[in-house]
Structure 1
Amino acid sequence: MKEMPMGTDVAEDAPDWFRTAVAITPEHSSTTVDGARITFRSWGERGAPGLILVHGGAAHAGWWDHIAPRYAGSRRVVALDLSGHGDSDWRDTYRIATWADEVAAVADVAGAADDAVLVGHSLGGLVGIRASIAHPDLVRDLVLVDSRILDAAGLAEIQRNQPHEGIPRRNKTYPTLEAALDRFRLVPDHASLDYARAYVARQSAVRDGDGWRWKFDRGFADELRDLPPRPPKSVRLSVVHGEHGVMTPAMVEQVTGHLDEPARVVELPGAGHHVMLEEPLALMDVIDEVLAERSARSQNPVG
């Protein structure tokens, strides 16, 4: 029997808006992409304009549970588990292009492909850039959330310094859920909201035999090579990054300097890398602006 998802308990200090959001149960569904079962969560009515939420590396769709319900009244919101993450299948090797195809397939199956906006955090932003290249009809409005824009040399350096170098890919198991949660760490760590961090932590562990393990393949980044260059110049781009995050001004310039329309760039003072766990309301303010502009453009097309 499949284990029910964790995360129903919310810390006592969580504000009402957070409690209300995570109490809304999404639809849980799956589809098959290139031989792998890809799971996803969705909110709102099928056929409404889409909002596609893509998590970062070693994360999962549940990182968006407190964000997605805000938009369910007017959008078909979908958050997927990329292969190698969450409840989706693992692959022998991973490619950003394959993840981009997973995004497109899920958006289509979930009924979220029309007039869509894609929001990608960290690795999810790189997947979003690749999707904007491979699936331009789907991704015309893209929001990057503190995505580290790397060249091949930078990626190779990260891969060489992975802490699990030479260790078998099977994740470490812990004897109890409590033991696993005690070891939950954000990388890089910063001043996340305790209640948000605790919520995603409880959804990040799964029973494995007699123990518990994290819900991601520790080898998901070991062989990545197909880094996307930058989005097409026609993409309407927004960039949200933390003052202390991993996205540097040079990276922002790299992805915004060539665009037909000036990008929206928002730096969140005091924030680090995991923006949705540190400044979720500020992030939602930016998404609100993007969606309002997208809606206005759809109602009053020019050219």
Structure 2
Amino acid sequence: MTTENSPLPLEAGDLHVRQDGPRDAPALVLVHGLAASTSWWDAIVPELAAARHVVRLDLLGHGRSARPDGPGYRIADHARRVGAALDRLGVEQAVAIGHSTGGLVVTALAEERPGLLGALALIDTGPRLGAFVSNGLAGRLMLAPGLGSLLWRVRTDALIRKALSTAFSRPGYEIPPHLVADVRTMTLHGTVATSQGAIDYLTRQPLPDRLSALGKPLLVLFGEQDRRWRPSSAAEYTGVPGALVEMIPGVGHSPMLEDPHRTLALLRPFIEAHARG
């Protein structure tokens, strides 16, 4: 598997891009969620990249990308940068896979650039704001006005692990150190601004309505034990014409980390049907 890591200079700052697999193969673009990075896809990329050009990006403010203090963290802003990065890489069409907030980003990209994305797969992306359950006490405290600023400066690995714990439900799953490191790279501004951008995006229009208007092939995967978004809310995506909705038992908000084998088994046929050269 051919791998390349590189910073891609864009107007708002460098965007870290990782490419795997043959460059002349059909393209997949993978977009992570809030306070995550390209590394959240590590368990499934080797198989995906065997016959696909897999493009992963750290969103602005995340991972190894730039972390400016100003504007630019709306969902539409993130989406435009992903589109600009794909243009710079010479990708003319891709299947997009988004996890959680990343699902909002790829939907927004499909809205702005319908010819760029041929199909969408969403992993544990809440359909509407009312389906949100909680990011846990530690997560709420770290994002709280005033108190969040203090906790962000003194946050310990234990506090970060507590905040991350609601992203996983598989019994015995241990949060890898690199996921804790991802949170440490974030600024409070980038985290809060991206979170608020997601709230604003869902408040303006629920995701199933947006996706219905797009008319793109859609796969929705949802962990049956998701503790951040109500698992039953996945049924709302069945109202999108032609959508495939699959529930994954025994896992929570992050199936590609908790059960990569089963996640790949569900993604593979969808990708093979819609990834074009």
TM-score bracket relative to the smaller structure: 0.7 to 0.9
Q: Which of 205, 220, 223 is the equivalent residue of 2:193?
A: 220
Deviation of 1:226 after TM superposition, in Å, equals 3.0
Contact 1:87–1:215 (8 Å) recurs in 2: no
Say which one has the larger Rg: 1
Q: Is 1:132 the equivalent of 2:113?
A: no
Q: What is the letter of the counterpart of residue 289 of structure 1?
A: P
Q: Which of 217, 240, 258 is the equivalent residue of 1:236?
A: 217
Percent identity over the alignment is 30
Tell me the equivalent position of 2:88. 109
Contact 2:161–2:180 (8 Å) recurs in 1: no
Distance 1:114 1:194, change over 3 A: farther
Distance 1:294 1:35, change over 3 A: same
Q: Is 1:257 the equivalent of 2:239?
A: yes
Give 1:205-216 correspondences, 5 Å limit: 213-215=184-186
Deviation of 1:275 after TM superposition, in Å, equals 1.1
Partner Cα separation in structure 2 for residue 33 and residue 264 of structure 1 = 35
Partner Cα separation in structure 2 for residue 238 and residue 122 of structure 1 = 14
Q: What is the letter of the counterpart of residue 66 of structure 2?
A: D
Partner Cα separation in structure 1 for residue 218 and residue 86 of structure 2 = 19
Q: Which of 259, 263, 266 is the equivalent residue of 1:286?
A: 266
Q: CA RMSD in A?
A: 3.0
Deviation of 1:128 after TM superposition, in Å, equals 1.3
Of Structure 1 and Structure 2, the greater helix share is in 2
Q: TM-score, normalised by structure 2?
A: 0.79
Q: TM-score, normalised by structure 1?
A: 0.73
Q: Is 1:162 the equivalent of 2:137?
A: no
Deviation of 1:285 after TM superposition, in Å, equals 1.0
Partner Cα separation in structure 2 for residue 47 and residue 53 of structure 1 = 17
Q: What is the letter of the counterpart of residue 96 of structure 2?
A: L
- Pick 1 or 2: higher relative contact order, CA cutoff 8 A, min separation 6: 2
Distance 1:154 1:265, change over 3 A: closer
Q: Is 1:268 the equivalent of 2:268?
A: no
Deviation of 1:166 after TM superposition, in Å, equals 2.1
Distance 1:292 1:140, change over 3 A: same
Contact 1:55–1:122 (8 Å) recurs in 2: yes
Distance 1:269 1:154, change over 3 A: closer
Show CA shifts across 1:104-129 (max 9, x none). Answer: 12222234x24411110000011111
Contact 1:140–1:234 (8 Å) recurs in 2: no
Distance 1:169 1:202, change over 3 A: closer
Show CA shifts across 1:175-210 (max 9, x none). Answer: xxxx637842424143348677315436526xxxxx
Q: Secondary structure at the match of 2:201?
A: coil
Contact 2:99–2:123 (8 Å) recurs in 1: yes
Aligned residues: 255
Partner Cα separation in structure 2 for residue 222 and residue 268 of structure 1 = 25
Q: Which moved more, 1:185-194 or 1:99-108?
A: 185-194
